[in-house]
Structure 1
Amino acid sequence: MSFVQTRLTAAESVATGPQSPPEEIANGHVRLRLAVASLCGTDLHYYAHFANAGFELHNPVTLGHEACAWVEDPNGSRLRRGQLVALNPIMNCQSCDPCKRGEENLCTAKKFPGSATTVPHLDGFFRDVIDHPARCCRPVAEDVNPRHLTFAEPLACALHALNKGGVAAGDKVLVTGCGPMGLLAIAGAAARGAQVTALDLRPGAVEVARKAGAGEGHLAGRIADADIEKRFDVVVEASGAIPAFNTALKAVRQKGRVSILSNIQLREARVMLHLVMLKEIELCGSFQFNREFEEAVQLIESGAVNFEALTAAEYPLDQTGAALAHMAAGKAFGKILLLGAGLTGRSI
């Protein structure tokens, strides 16, 4: 058998080579075969800078934390061989105070694949064979499309931001930034019955936002502040751009909520904090997810989200470098998927 593993070796440098999985599977883990993975903005930052949000990689690593896979060896777990599972990448300790509160995203000793936040780094999911804790594998029905299931992790992040903002049916919601995370926030809010407006600099992104469920879509810079000021119950900031953050503070109503979904990089910024005081705005940080992973999988199983509209491109796993370069070019509106051997016909 010839398994493939990809590794980020330096900024903008991805090596593809043979993978040699260990003979033994760790206790509590199962052996999986990649079905579909997807690229995240975090992967893009590592690709571009070999670092993300102030965390630097110390050595080459396999990226990827969004994926679904087929069970190859259940290793004594309740999972079945051939079963399709969504992979929760948060491997929390289950014993620290945040874990005891059900806040696994804030675990003080969690491990996370394909990330500089875990030292030594753990290889991520952009490889054929993955050993992962059985407790972090959520099985799904046979009719679930793996191209949809790979959205479970990022959708969970978006749903966490919506939950932090208290988004409910009938709410007027603005999403600033229509990259993959913003699009998933739009889809999630629309699925709850919210009235969603999208804002982005790129016409193509606004077009996809409408397909994702936005009732309105506007180009930033072409809509007057007066047209959006104090209009929204909740604003989800998903761009990471400081001008967009200030727009969010203007657009939210008095006593409204701004939920920060974006991957804000470490830097100084000029922010209109006086509006937080004057309008009694609630600012909500949103980091990863907790129970929302299960919520995301159930939403995927329901078929309520048009994931085809949210998919920008597909690449076979052994072209991960090309996929990252495509994302870095900034012309992909939606998610870029990586297909495992089972969906490309590559023999292993």
Structure 2
Amino acid sequence: MSQSPQIPSTMQAVVMHAPEDYRLEEIDVPRPAADELLLRVEAVGVCASDLKCYHGAAKFWGDENRDRWVEPGITPGHELVGEVVAGSEEALAHHGVQIGDRIACEQIVPCGECMYCRRGWYWMCGPHDMFGFKHYSGAMAEYMIVPSLARAHQVSKDLPPHHAAFSEPLSCSLHAVERAQLTFDDVVVVAGCGPIGLGAIIGASHKTPKQVIALDFDDDKLALAAKCGADLTLNPSKVDVVAEIKALTGGYGADVYIECTGHPSAVSQGLNLLRKLGRFVEYSVFKDDVTVDWSIISDDKELDVLGAHLGPNCWPAAIGIIESGVLPMEEICTHQFGLGDVQKALDTVGDSSGASVKVSIVPGL
């Protein structure tokens, strides 16, 4: 077993006990098995799904029998980056890393054995274990285990840790963009300029379509969207975005709509502003049920409606974009908190004023 010197015996970790009952506790530093790595956590992003989990959201990915996302005794946190500090030669070779390397791990820990994994669709794994939600403790701790089934990617140590951790939401956004199958002639509309929406704007702009249009109710976030590659920004509280986009497209409507808000009204908005034979990509996780006129999808427009989940096969691209230095990362990564301020971090994500974009926890702050 190779390891860095001075790994302590205990650590601070956020431990889930029940919905709205997360506690900062002093627990033992986990000891990696022969096929595992030990990671010193450098940063972990706080996702909207973390907030929904905290408040006791029902429905768990791939398991309709579970009534809560909270798993008592598990540490949350899946947007993670950290330094490899211990692991056997076998485990290090398996992940292609050395002691001291910085890695980000994909949020899912696929089983490798179900039909989805066998067919290469690992991000839709049947058991669907994920860091911080089911069997694997996540990164809201000073140290964590990286199991052999995890998918790890090296990240430059020159990046601030909370910037490096943005590789998780950005990979998700890039997957949504990949699902849209953009062409050079496409007018692409992205609804919502939070972390996922900004990532979709970044990904879409890198595909160089005809035009990328960003929608949000917050003018500051629209200004940030422009810095991330949006050619045009529209505030639905100030203009009729459906009429505006149809006017820009000769009355036809947009070619592609990527929904990143999680608000039911954004779904009908997208259906209405798309042209016939347009493509609708849904990334959000919704709190409430969505009701729309389904005939728009079929009889009226014959739309392609596509879902997107996680960030499969997009991690190297996401990491490369962040490492390239082209993104306004200081403006994207707006808030950082220590482990002791996990409640403040969650509250900041849930603040409806829109003051934050990407919120992170950085152990040691």
* Structure-2 change in CA distance of 1:45 and 1:95 (3 Å): same
Is residue 124 of structure 2 the alignment partner of residue 106 of structure 1?
A: yes
Does the Cα contact within 8 Å between 1:52 and 1:265 map onto a contact in 2? no
Matched, 1:181 2:196: yes
Structure 2's unaligned 5+ residue stretches are 1-7, 247-251
State the one-letter code of the partner of 1:20.
D
Instruction: Pick from 127, 130, 134 the counterpart of residue 141 of structure 2.
Output: 127
Specify the alignment match of 2:25 in structure 1.
Answer: 17
Task: Work out the CA distance in 2 between the residues paired with 1:175 and 1:156.
Answer: 16
CA deviation vs aligned residue, 1:234-289 (integer Å, no higher than 9, x gap): 1100111121111111111221101001112363x321222212111100011113
Does the 8 Å CA contact 1:260/1:285 hold for their aligned counterparts?
yes
Residue number in structure 1 paired with 2:333: 311
TM-score (norm 2): 0.85
1:333 counterpart (353, 356, 364)? 356
Q: Which residue identity does 1:303 align to in structure 2?
A: G
Pair 1:39-2:41 in alignment: no
Q: Distance in 1 between matches of 2:227 and 2:345?
A: 23
- For residue 88 of structure 1, the aligned residue among 90, 99, 106 is 106
CA drift of 1:124 comes to 1.6
Partner letter of residue 93 of structure 1?
C
Which of residues 221, 241, 245 is equivalent to 1:228? 245
SS in 2 for 1:162: helix
Flag the 1:101–1:256 CA change in 2: closer, same or farther, 3 A. Answer: same
- For 1:276, the equivalent position in structure 2 comes to 297
Query: CA separation of 1:107/1:266 partners in 2, compared to 1, >3 Å: closer, same or farther?
Result: farther
Cα distance in 2 for residues equivalent to 1:302 and 1:325: 32
Is residue 2:176 matched to residue 1:161? yes
TM-score by length of 1: 0.89
Q: Distance in 2 between matches of 1:35 and 1:140?
A: 12
Query: Structure 1 residues 302 and 101 mapped into 2: Cα distance closer, same or farther (>3 Å)?
Result: farther
Out of 66, 75, 78, the residue aligned to residue 62 of structure 1 is: 75
Q: 1:159–1:188: 8 Å Cα contact kept in structure 2?
A: yes
What residue identity is the alignment partner of 1:300? I
CA shift for structure 1 position 60: 4.8
Of 112, 115, 121 in structure 2, the residue corresponding to residue 97 of structure 1 is: 115
Distance 1:52 1:209, change over 3 A: farther
Q: Could you tell me which of 238, 242, 252 is aligned with 2:264? A: 242
Task: Judge conservation of contact 1:13–1:321 (CA < 8 Å) in 2.
Answer: no
Q: How far is 1:191 from its partner?
A: 2.4
Aligned partner (choices 202, 205, 208) of residue 224 of structure 2 = 208
Q: Tell me the equivalent position of 1:140.
A: 155
C-alpha distance in 2, partners of 1:52/1:208?
Answer: 33
Q: Distance in 2 between matches of 1:315 and 1:170?
A: 43
Please give the alpha-carbon distance, in whole angstroms, between the structure 2 residues aligned to 1:90 and 1:52: 17
Deviations 1:162-186 (A, max 9, x none): 1111124453211112222111111
- SS of equivalent residue, structure 2 residue 286: coil
Q: Within 1, Cα distance between the matches of 2:343 and 2:153?
A: 28
Q: For the residues of structure 2 that align with 1:291 and 1:50, how far apart are their CA atoms?
A: 28
Residues 100-136 of structure 1: per-residue CA shift (max 9 Å, x gap): 2221111113311222xx3xx4322111111113552
The number of residue pairs the alignment matches comes to 336
Q: Which runs of 4+ in 1 moved over 4 A?
A: 50-55
Is the aligned partner of 1:6 residue 2:14? yes
1:50 and 1:19, CA in 2 relative to 1: closer, same or farther beyond 3 A? Answer: farther
Residue identity in the other structure for 1:272: D
Query: Residue 32 of structure 2 aligns to a residue in which SS?
Result: coil
Distance 1:291 1:58 in 2: 28
Moved more, 303-312 or 244-253: 303-312
2:348/2:356 contact within 8 Å kept: no
1: distance between equivalents of 2:18 and 2:305? 36
8 Å CA contact 1:46–1:52 kept in 2: the answer is: no
C-alpha distance in structure 2 between counterparts of 1:232 and 1:60, whole Å: 47
- In the alignment, residue 146 of structure 2 is paired with which amino acid? H
